[in-house]
Amino acid sequence: MKTIDDLLAEGQVAGKRVFVRADLNVPLSDGTITDDGRIRAAVPTITRLADAGAKVIVASHLGRPKGAPDPQFSLAPVAARLGELLGTDVAFASDTVGDSAAATVAGLADGQVALLENLRFNPGETVKDDAERGAFADQLAALADSYVGDGFGAVHRKHASVYDLPARLPHAAGGLIATEVGVLKKLTEDVKRPYAVVLGGSKVSDKLGVIDHLLEKADRILVGGGMVFTFLKAQGHEVGKSLLQEDQLPVVTEYLARAEAKGVEFVLPVDVVGATEFPDLKTKAPSSPATAPVDSIPADMIGLDIGPESRKLFAAKLADAATVFWNGPMGVFEHPDYADGTRAVAQALIDSPAFTVVGGGDSAAAVRILGFDENAFGHISTGGGASLEYLEGKTLPGLAALEG
């Protein structure tokens, strides 16, 4: 895979229009960015290109607009924040391939940066029809001389700006993607053992593929979050009003049996923290948390976090690991009454001498929201879904396009 280092070494960027497909899909609340981690992750590649004299055209998606402009998904706040982080004005085009984009790109001087409006405002970005998607890629290609793919969080999508556009321009991987792929290879090809995996999040169905694949690679799998209640039910426990995917019980039961047969240690909580009602995440008003052992969860309880004994157990199971991959919070960390499990796992990774990888998504957000030093972890990924699909052994369209 050609990288940005190759482009710079060949002197191919000075005075050229370089299209950077970044992942600036940040969470917004009433137009305010609540976690700018993905923007900060995009800055190094953009800076290197601008410093080398490129006219940098940055593009990204944000949220899931339905192929048409939607003000709540505008990248305008992102342009402002990107400018602050770069220390320079970022020109903002109010469309993707229309008059504003053309004029904005034409107005760039060497070393300047522009951001296009949300790519998903155009239906051609995500459409499954190859011809329609290709037509949009043609329009994007007309704006640039070369392409740098640096949006790792989108490489598992067969979208115009990720998959089709690289085929139309000289292309290379940005620094972020090169780093992410290097880290993932340490989790799949050159693994130092013991290798422990911590999985959380709400639905077990979101993690079935990665569990299936990791049963062949990991030494120890720890499970928390809402998904754990399907595992506990499979073991014969009642789970009250907790999140339960009954249709997944057969496959979860089979995974537990396979793990035992292969000698892979499956670690589940021994106690949970919950309440009779789901907490208010907007006001974060105090709720009424209670702790229960997993073999006596009350019928009216919703499990919302792993309990204090489970936190100790999980920390002990991570203490001797040489490699740890963590994807998914242990509970409803957005509410202070149910953040202790996620906090305990994050702290256990920091305390461990292992190579630790936080697998993007809610896990990365939790690290920042709970106030941990990001530099205390081996790597914090910018792509939750992309990381999981890579670990499942799938071919990621965006990476395949850059290798082509």
The string of pLDDT tens digits covering residues 79-137 is 999 999 999 999 999 999 999 999 999 999 999 999 999 999 999 999 999 999 999 99
pLDDT of 365 reads 87
pTM, two decimals, is 0.88
Which one from 38, 55, 133, 317 is the annotated catalytic residue? 38
Name the catalytic one among 203, 217, 258, 394: 203
Active site residue 274: no
- 220 assigned to a ligand binding site: no
- Please tell me the predicted confidence (pLDDT) of residue 362: 86
Q: Kindly report, residue by residue over 203-247, the tens digit of the pLDDT.
A: 888 889 899 999 999 999 999 999 999 999 999 999 999 999 999
Would the annotation count 258 as a binding residue?
Answer: no
Tokens representing residue 388 in the block: 């999981």
394 is catalytic: no
Tell me the mean pLDDT in the region 375-391.
Answer: 90
361 pLDDT above the threshold of 90: no
d(CA 65, CA 123): 9
**Average pLDDT of the chain, as a whole number:** 95
Distance of alpha carbon 172 from alpha carbon 5, whole angstroms: 9
pLDDT value at 58 more than 80: yes
Residue 158 catalytic?
A: no
Q: What is the pLDDT of residue 121?
A: 98
- With a CB cutoff of 8 Å and minimum separation 6, the contacts of 16 are 54, 55, 145, 146
pLDDT (average), residues 251-268: 96
Residues 320 and 194: beta-carbon distance below 8 Å: yes
Catalytic residue among 174, 201, 383, 385: 385
The pLDDT-based confidence of 78 (bands split at 50, 70, 90) is: very high
Per-residue pLDDT at 30: 87
* Domains of the chain listed by start with CATH number: 4-178 (3.40.50.1260), 191-392 (3.40.50.1260)
- Residue 311, annotated as binding a ligand: no
Which candidate in 361, 383, 384, 398 is catalytic?
A: 361
Torsion of CA 48, 24, 367, 30, to 10 degrees: 140
pLDDT tens by residue, 65-76: 999 999 999 999
Check whether 172 has a pLDDT greater than 90.
yes
Instruction: Give, in degrees to the nearest 5, the angle at Cα 35 between 345 and 397.
Output: 85
Q: How confident is the model at residue 170 (pLDDT cuts 50, 70, 90)?
A: very high
Average pLDDT of the segment spanning 239-259: 96
The answer to whether residue 258 is catalytic is no
359 is in an annotated binding site: no
Mean pLDDT, range 244-253, rounded to an integer: 96
The answer to the question of whether 17 is labelled as a binding residue is: no
Q: In the 3-class helix/strand/coil scheme, how is the chain assigned residue by residue?
A: CCEHHHHHHCCCCCCCEEEEECCCCCCEECCEECCCHHHHHHHHHHHHHHHCCCEEEEECCCCCCCCCCCHHHCCHHHHHHHHHHHCCCEEECCCCCCHHHHHHHHCCCCCCEEECCCHHHCHHHCCCCHHHHHHHHHHHHCCCCEEEECCHHHCCCCCHHHHHHHHHCCEEECHHHHHHHHHHHHHHCCCCCCEEEEECCCCHHHHHHHHHHHCCCCCEEEECCCCHHHHHHHCCCCCCCCCCCHHHHHHHHHHHHHHHHHCCEEECCCEEEEECCCCCCCCCCCCCCEEEEHHHCCCCCEEEEECHHHHHHHHHHHHCCCEEEEECCCCCCCCHHHCHHHHHHHHHHHHCCCEEEECCHHHHHHHHHCCCCHHHCCEECCCHHHHHHHHCCCCCHHHHHHHC
**Known binder of ligand: residue 175?**
no
- Residue 123: what residue type? P
Mean pLDDT of 149-169: 97
* Across 176-180, 203-207, 307-311, 312-316, least confident range: 203-207
Confidence of residue 393 (pLDDT cuts 50, 70, 90): confident
Number of residues that make up the chain: 404
Q: Please report, to the nearest 10 degrees, the dihedral formed by the alpha carbons of residues 24, 124, 115, 168 taken in order.
A: 100
Taking 90 as the threshold, does the pLDDT of residue 190 lie above it?
no
Find out whether 172 and 178 touch, Cβ atoms under 8 Å: no
Percent of the chain residues topping a pLDDT of 70: 100
Has 334 been labeled as part of a binding site?
yes
Q: Are 338 and 224 in contact (CB under 8 A)?
A: no
The rounded distance, in Å, linking the Cα atoms of 14 and 76 is 27
362 is in an annotated binding site: yes
